[in-house]
Amino acid sequence: VEGGSEAQVLDAWMNSWNDPQMRRLAHCSWGWHPQAKLTGDIVEDERVWGSSEWGIGAVGPVFGEDLVIRGASHTDGICMNTSAWLDDVQLLDKGIIVHKDLVDLAKKLGK
């Protein structure tokens, strides 16, 4: 874990579980809702346009029994203004759609 004081707090929290699964990526999602706002409620926050949400640690049976990851705990984090590439092709640049096939769709959604 790299970063400032918040990163140090997260690192200490993950270490406190003494469980290597707490360093495992559980899931990732992308925010595409044009009206979602950052509120502190993960259900809306993970949908904020141009964001990404990263889950680490345990995964319950919500995605299917064969995908369960046993672990001491789970947490999610939101990254605002995400830049993302898929197979070396950039889709997002700091939360703005830049892929030529998606720009018009984003404009239709008001973004």
Distance, first Cα to last Cα, the chain: 32
Cα distance between residue 96 and residue 27, in whole Å: 22
Cα distance between residue 96 and residue 13, in whole Å: 32
Q: Mapping DSSP to helix (H, G, I), strand (E, B) and coil, where does residue 77 land?
A: strand
Q: Mapping DSSP to helix (H, G, I), strand (E, B) and coil, where does residue 50 land?
A: coil
All residues at 6 or more sequence positions from 106 whose CB lies less than 8 Å from its CB, including other chains: 97
Q: Where are the domains of the chain?
A: 5-81
Residue 2: its pLDDT value, please? 84
Residue 34: its pLDDT value, please? 94
**Both structure tokens of 60:** 């319950």
Taking only the tens of pLDDT, the chain with its 111 residues reads 888 999 999 999 999 999 999 999 999 999 999 999 999 999 999 999 999 999 999 999 988 899 899 999 999 999 999 999 999 999 999 999 999 999 999 999 999
Residue 62: its pLDDT value, please? 86
